[in-house]
Each structure stands twice: as C-alpha cells, then as structure tokens.
Amino acid sequence: MKDLHSNGPEKTMIDLSLPKTTPQPTPIAHKAPRKRLKLKAPKGALSVFALLFLCLFTAESTAWVSYWILTGHPMSYAVSTTEQEMITKNAQLVDMNGLSGKGTGEMTNMLVHPYLGYIRPQGDPNAVPGQDYLLGKKPLITEPSEDTLVVGIFGGSFAEQFSDQGSAILKALLTEQPQFAGKNVEIFTAAVAGYKQPQQLLSLNYLLSMGQHFDMIVNIDGFNEVAGPAIENIPRNVNPDYPTGWYHLADRLPNMQVLSGIGEVAYKKQQRKKLSQWMLSSPVLSRSSVAQFLWKGLDGRAVTEIAASQLALKQIPATDEHNQELLGLEYSFDNEEELLGDLVGQWERSSLLMHELASAHDIAYVHLIQPNQYVAGSKRLSSDEQSIALGKDNPYERWVVKGYPILREAGRRLASKGVLMEDFTHVFANVTETVYKDDCCHINQFGNNIIGAAVAKVIQQSITSEAFAVYP
C-alpha cells in the first residue's frame, strides 16, 4: 500500500493479520461397515449327508444280517465283547499242550510229575478250580458228608474245559434230583489237557492214596487215546503208552527247530490277542456290526493258522531216537489196525480198573465217550464250524474215522461188564448252532452247557442202578 502523505521512500507493508475464517480440516473418510457373510449350506449338502447316513446304515445292516446267516444266530455285541475279553485274558504264548519241566519243547507250561507224567503248576492261567489238589495241596476233602456231593471230573482237555464251563449246569441239575436235593455239589477237576489212559487211572489211584474222597466220578475221554499217540508219540518213536509230549517233558537238550516252532505259535497267538484288544479299546468298533463281522472272520482265520502251526510243532521228529529216557520201551506194529487195537485195549482195561476201584470205595463211576466233529453224521456243522472246525488235511480226522468205531465197540463191552458207559459221539446230532471252536476236538460254552445237561440226564436215568446204589 502506498502512503500519499509520506515524503519518504515507499515502504511495503506486510499484513500479519489472521484470516477471518479458519480452514477446517479435511474430514477422514470412513469405510462403510462390512456386511458379515452368512454361510448357508447348499441344498445339495443335505442330500450328501443323507446319502452318507444311508450308506452307513446299509453297511451296518448288511453286516448284521450276514452275521446271522453265517453263524445261525443274531449278532450280540455283548457276546462278541466277552469273546474278545477271553481271548485277551487267556491267550498263551506257547502251545496249550506244551509241557516241559526244565527242558525245552512245546510243554513248557507244565510240571513233570513222578506218577502222572505232568500236572499244571500253581498260577497257570489255564488251570481250573480243583486242580491244585493234584499238587497235594491241602485241604483235601477226605471225609464223606451228608451235605456234600463230591464229583471228580477225569479226562483230557475236553473234560478239563467241561469242568470249567459245563459244571455249573451239571451242579444245578443234580441238585434238582431228589437224591441230591439240598446238597452242596463240589467239583474236583482231575482232568488235564493231553491226558490219556492210563493217566486217568493213575490219577484216581494217586488221589485216593492221598485220602481224597469222591462220591461220583465222571470220566470223559476217547479222542486223545486214538488220535494222540498216532500223531504225537509214534512219529517220534515214543512208546504210545507214554504221556502226550513225553519226549519234550524228558528232553533236556535245546532243539532249535522246536524253539522256532514255539516262537511261531507265540507270535500268531499274540497277533490274535492284539486284534481283540484293538476291538475292545474302541467304543465305536465294539458297537459296529461291520467291525464285528470283519473281526469274526479275521479271528477265525487266526485260529486256523495257530492250529496249523501247533500241529506242525507236534510233528517235529525226535533227534535222539535211541534214547530210552525219551522214547520208552521199544514199540512196533504191523499196521494201523494193530496200533489202534493196542490203544483202545489200553483205554478199555484202564476204564474197567477205574470202575472196579471206584466200586471198591463206594464211588459211582460214569464213563462217557467224548464227541468229535470228525465222526460221520455226528453233527450238522454251522458255517463257522465248516471254516474253523474242519482243518484241511487234518491228521486227526483220519484217526478219528478209523479209531472211533473200535472205541465205541469197546465201550459196548464195558457196558456189558457193568460199567455205566454212555456214547456221546452223537450228543450234538440235533444241534445246528456253533459248538466246535477249533479243528481238534474242543467246544464252546454253549456246547459245554449241552454236555452238562446230558451228563445230568445220564445220572438221573441211572440213579436206581447198581452203580448208584451207594445213594439212599
């Protein structure tokens, strides 16, 4: 600005005044709120879930129905669980018939006995109530009692398992009979796996010598007598009258072939045990029809493979063929008929002696020929039995087929001499359900219940006979 009144030089004025209006800050632009996405299942997803459910339901239903068709009875998760628990609990790493004292071989879980050949040791997981008495363990039942009925069970593994699983039925039915009403039935187990005559006879003598009292003796045998020696003794040149597995009982030298065989059996049994443990460990699998159906098939296959390995183990030849400690007295035969005649003759004489010994002590004696799946027409086998109970080229079949007719004929001779003898070879003739659980001779709980009822019936029908005259 120029001052008109000023004479001096022109000055430039700087305006320091603030602007009349304060500029406003530029507003920050805010983003519009984002809309939350809502996921909606497409209509097709529901169809997928429905399809998956339908497939699962169909698979479970098919498995359940298939199980019923193949086994002859509906699937029971409780029964399957019980079977798996038993497999897990009772699985042995060595052959059940494997005995050995301090030596090696297949009989490693037994004790050598000076009179009986062998017995189960204390703490054996396969022992059944009453077997401790065979060790001379007290107290023995030495005095008769009006309130107690002492029943002794004699025989091999079939009788041993019956004593464990079928004796409850036998006891219940016996107490329903007027002669035994109100009595406490005591079961004394003198049966041991692998026993054959004359071991039953020797066991009775041994127990009586220790003062053991019996009111009744039930002897169930026959299979081991005709099949055992031909398969286990003769191939090793062991005298057929010697106990099953005697070669291994007396053997004190390691046999690598035998040890290898034991290891194979142990491994297969362990794998079977693990399969059952796996099923038990999963709540989902244990309630799945598909899983239970598959387990049943795999377990059956395992049983067959174990049986095959056990049989191969039993057939390992002896290395000391001239050792009398292992082999016993030299024995020879011209043909199989002669051999079977000798075996059945031993069985017949031993049973007659048991009868006479029992009579001398006022003991009722009942002798039963055990059933077997290889006896023609003895049972209509279920689908499970056809796959499990009949081994391919099983050597037992040959000796049962050839030996049982001779055995049954000898049984008739015993009956004619006053022995209370019953032939149980066709006791399952009208049973369609699964009974046999291996390709040898053993039966399940259902089968043992049938045997228990059949034994009670024999006793009931014969209660007034001379054999039972000791009872008022």
Confirm if 237 and 321 have CB atoms less than 8 A apart. Answer: yes
Lowest-pLDDT choice from 44-58, 118-132, 390-404: 44-58
Q: Assess whether pLDDT exceeds 60 at residue 455.
A: yes
Pairing of strands 111-113, 117-119: antiparallel
- What average pLDDT does this structure show over 65-73? 65
Identify whether 29 is part of a domain. no
Q: Assess whether pLDDT exceeds 70 at residue 177.
A: yes
Q: Assess whether pLDDT exceeds 70 at residue 404.
A: yes
* pLDDT level of residue 447 (50, 70, 90 thresholds): very high
Closest among 354, 371, 374 to 447, alpha carbons compared? 371
Beta-strand (E) ranges in 90-223? 111-113, 117-119, 148-155, 184-189, 216-221
Angle between helices 167-175 and 157-165 (to 10 degrees): 60
Confirm if 334 and 405 have CB atoms less than 8 A apart. Answer: no
Q: Assess whether pLDDT exceeds 50 at residue 386.
A: yes
Q: Which two tokens stand for residue 74?
A: 């509906």
Identify whether 159 is part of a domain. yes
Question: Which distant-in-sequence residues (6+ apart) come within 8 Å of 298 by Cβ?
Answer: 275
Identify whether 10 is part of a domain. no
- What average pLDDT does this structure show over 51-78? 65
Average pLDDT of the chain, as a whole number: 80
Identify whether 180 is part of a domain. yes
pLDDT by residue (tens digit) across 259-309? 788 888 888 888 888 888 887 787 877 777 777 777 778 888 888 888 888
Tell me which residue range forms the domain holding 373.
Answer: 129-230+331-468
Q: Which residue has the higher pLDDT, 77 or 433?
A: 433
* pLDDT level of residue 374 (50, 70, 90 thresholds): very high
- 447 vs 455: CA distance, rounded Å: 12
- The predicted pLDDT at position 472 comes to 32
Work out the angle at residue 187's Cα, subtended by the Cα atoms of residues 192 and 191, and round it to the nearest 5 degrees: 10
- The predicted pLDDT at position 422 comes to 94
Identify whether 338 is part of a domain. yes
- List 218's β-bridge partners, or say none: 153, 366
% pLDDT > 90, the chain: 39
Task: Read off the CATH number of the domain in which 224 is found.
Answer: 3.40.50.1110
Write the CA distances from 315 to 145, 204, 250, 318, 331, integer angstroms. Answer: 48, 30, 17, 9, 18
pLDDT by residue (tens digit) across 98-107? 433 333 344 6
Identify whether 56 is part of a domain. no
Helices in 92-166 by DSSP H: which ranges?
A: 157-165
Q: For the stretch 50-61, what's the b/e string if a residue is b when 16 or more beta carbons lie within 10 angstroms of its beta carbon?
A: eeeeeeeeeebe
Q: Assess whether pLDDT exceeds 60 at residue 18.
A: no
Q: Which residue has the higher pLDDT, 422 or 95?
A: 422
Q: Assess whether pLDDT exceeds 70 at residue 13.
A: no
Identify whether 104 is part of a domain. no
Number of domains in the chain: 1
pLDDT by residue (tens digit) across 39-63? 555 556 667 666 666 666 676 667 6
pLDDT by residue (tens digit) across 189-199? 999 999 999 99
Q: Which residue has the higher pLDDT, 18 or 218?
A: 218
Q: One-letter amino acid identity for 345?
A: G
- The predicted pLDDT at position 17 comes to 53
- The predicted pLDDT at position 448 comes to 96
- 282 vs 280: CA distance, rounded Å: 6
Identify whether 311 is part of a domain. no
pLDDT by residue (tens digit) across 320-339? 544 676 778 888 888 999 99
Lowest-pLDDT choice from 50-64, 77-91, 157-171, 412-426: 50-64
- The predicted pLDDT at position 98 comes to 44
Q: Which residue has the higher pLDDT, 455 or 471?
A: 455
Q: Assess whether pLDDT exceeds 90 at residue 254.
A: no
% pLDDT > 70, the chain: 72
